[in-house]
Structure formats: structure tokens, C-alpha cells
Amino acid sequence: MPTLKNIFQASFLKRLESLRIECRKLYYGNRKGQYIATAMKGTSVEFADYQEYSPGDDFRHVDWNLYSRLDKLLVKTFKEELELTIHILLDTSKSMLYPPEDQKFEFAKNIALAFSYIGLSDQNSVSLAKFLNTDVKEKKTEASDKQSNYRFDLNEHTPFLRKRGDIFNINNFLEKIKPGGLMDFDGFIKKYIFKNKGKGGTVIIISDFMLAPEIYKNGLKLLKFKNYDVKVIQILGPKELDPFGKIKKGKIIDVETNEKKVVNSTATIRKKYKDFIEKHNEDLKNFCRSNNIVYSLARSDQNFEDYILKELPKLGFVN
């Protein structure tokens, strides 16, 4: 019989149980939960705050005493505990396995499991899905070849789970994943939103984001347009950030497309790579910031428990 100690240390699990996943948007859940929404208008007897009147607000919740003094329409808001729906989307493309020494996918799985446990412990609804990827047989040359060749299969994600004991179902799901293929970020996001129509909430994307900016921007913008609260965790490893080491000359193989190139590891090449990867990461970070998306760059060689318990609260993932 599996126990929670088979997943994480008991002391770490206890710390996870004290955390909540932050949500920057208001959602109406189907059940009561532990998520505190403070923008609800008139749904509870516990007063929270005031906000300016907007067209469509219920006049019954306007504070007329304040209006007489300030000549300004202010609406009372109230606290209510709601169920928060949490969607965890995990990159399962082949690049997550490389470089092998970086153990990116193992680190990503642990992050997904930790978020799942936090959500389930908080009596919220959690589903974990793996990005469905295209199988790359050969180099694609035509634009039409770049279209997704998969069909969205509901078996590729867990159902929405609500009990703490469901962490074992999520763990079993994660253990069966075998990364492979080329990530179809934009295409998957479109299909995922369609299949979960009306099921809003917080989306946590865990990926190395080794994608062209226009691809991840399209997908993230679509999630924001559909009113999801979006959080991004980019996972990279030390070998990926500095892949050359002592190599003078070698062959580089794209693990997702099998494209091969011979490179000389000169000081100029090293600097170009360093500048490119830093710019790529900074562009993703800036895009997230400008679109009210919480972002974190996680290194797979950092202490996992410190990352979850110390780093993520600072960034606004959990509190």
C-alpha cells in the first residue's frame, strides 16, 4: 500500500499543506473550498473592502453613506471561500530529457506533484495534463508540415481530482509518462481550452520553453484572453545554460527534429550562445510580466524543497 512518504518527506508534505496557490482572478467554483476570493459582490456576510462602481454592478451593494460624503459610487465587496480549479500543464517533449545530466524532467515532475498536493490539500480541484506532441520523423520543410498531427485524447490528462488521497493517482500518471516528440505548444493550448470549455481557473505551465517566441506568446495570450490566471515555470539545467564545457569541436543534434550541425567551440560561439539563451529567457520573463503572468526560472540543480518553500512564495505562486 503506497503512502505519502513514498512521494515526499513527511516534513516537506507538512509544509506543503500550509501553502495555498495564489490566484489573481475571480472564479465561481462549483463547490466550497479554501480559496479566498475578495472580489465577490454580496455573496457572503464577511465584509472585505470597497471598489469603484462599474457598469453592471448591483446597486444594492453601493455604500450610499459614502456616496453622500464623497460623491463617489463605491461598491462593497465580501469574502467567500471557493473551490479553485487548478490546471497543471507539463511539457513532455523530448527536449525535457536533454541534456541527460540536467534531469530536467524529473525536476519538472516533482514541481507538478508539489503543486498538485498543495491544491488537493486546500480542497480545490486539480487536473494534470501532459502537452501532446507531434512525432517528428524527418525535417519539416513545408509550412503545412508544421501543423499538429495529433488528436486530443482525454486519456492524456487526469480527471479533475479533489481529495488529498488523489495525489497517488497523479503520481501514477506522472510515472507512466515517457517524453518524446516535438512540443506543439500553441496547438495544444487551443485544444485544451476547447475541451475544458467553461472550466476556468489557474493554469500552471511547466516547460523548458525551448520554443520560438511567437509560438509561446500565441498560446499564453490565448489563455489570458480566455480569462485564465496563468503561471509559468521555465526549467533549465546547468549543462543547457553552458553546454560546451571543454569541447573544442563537436556535432550538435536537435533531439526533437534530429537536425545535425557541426560547431567549433570558440570564444565567439560561446558568447553568442550565452547571449542568445539569456535574451531568450529575458524575453519570456518580460512577456510574462507585461501580461500579468507570474514567471519563474527554475534551475534543475537547485535544492527542490527550497525552491518550492522559499522561492515560489516570493514570486507569488503560493502563499
Average pLDDT, the chain: 82
Per-residue pLDDT at 47: 64
pLDDT computed for residue 67 by the predictor: 85
**Are 132 and 201 in a shared domain?**
yes
Question: In this prediction, what percent of the chain has a pLDDT beyond 90?
Answer: 52
How much is the pLDDT for 29? Answer: 47
- β-strand partners of 253: 260
Residue 181 lies in a domain: yes
Indicate whether 215 and 303 sit together in one domain: yes
Give the per-residue pLDDT at 23. Answer: 83
* DSSP reduced 3-state for 158: coil
Residue 51: predicted pLDDT: 77
H or E segment to which residue 113 belongs:
helix 104-121
Examine residue 243 and say whether the peptide bond preceding it is cis (omega within 30 degrees of 0): no
Residues 193 and 157 in one domain: yes
Amino acid at 251: K
Mean pLDDT of 17-27: 79
Supply the pLDDT for residue 253.
65
Q: How far apart are CA 230 and CA 224, in angstroms?
A: 7
Residues 67 and 88 in one domain: no
For residues 253 and 182, membership in a common domain is answered with yes
Nearest to 256 by CA among 148, 163, 136: 136
Residue 171 located in a structural domain: yes
Q: Backbone dihedral region of 209: left (phi > 0), alpha (psi from -120 to 50 degrees) or beta?
A: left
* 174 shares its domain with 143: yes
Q: What is the pLDDT of residue 34?
A: 52
Same domain, yes or no, for 203 and 297? yes
Q: What sign does the dihedral 232-237-239-242 (CA atoms) show?
A: positive
Range of the domain at 70: 35-82
Q: Are residues 39 and 139 in the same domain?
A: no
Pair 220, 104 in one domain: yes
pLDDT for res 137: 45
- If asked whether residues 72 and 198 sit together in one domain, one would say no
Question: How does pLDDT run across 221-246, given as a tens digit for each residue?
Answer: 999 999 899 999 999 999 998 877 66
- pLDDT 10s digits, 258-299: 777 776 678 888 888 899 999 999 999 999 999 999 999 999
Q: Nearest-CA neighbor of 113 among 168, 163, 34?
A: 168
Asked if residue 272 is part of any domain, the answer here is yes
pLDDT at 228: 92
Q: Is residue 89 part of a domain?
A: yes
Number of domains in the chain: 2
CATH code, 225: 3.40.50.410
113 and 148 co-located in one domain: yes
What pTM, to 2 d.p., does this model score? Answer: 0.78
Instruction: Convert the pLDDT of each residue in 65-108 to its tens digit.
Output: 888 888 888 887 655 445 689 999 999 999 999 899 999 999 99
30 falls within a domain = no
Q: How confident is residue 56, by pLDDT bands cut at 50, 70 and 90?
A: low
Do residues 118 and 78 both lie within one domain?
A: no
Average pLDDT over residues 124-150: 63
Task: Quick: pLDDT tens for 187-227.
Answer: 999 999 988 876 788 999 999 999 999 999 999 999 999 98
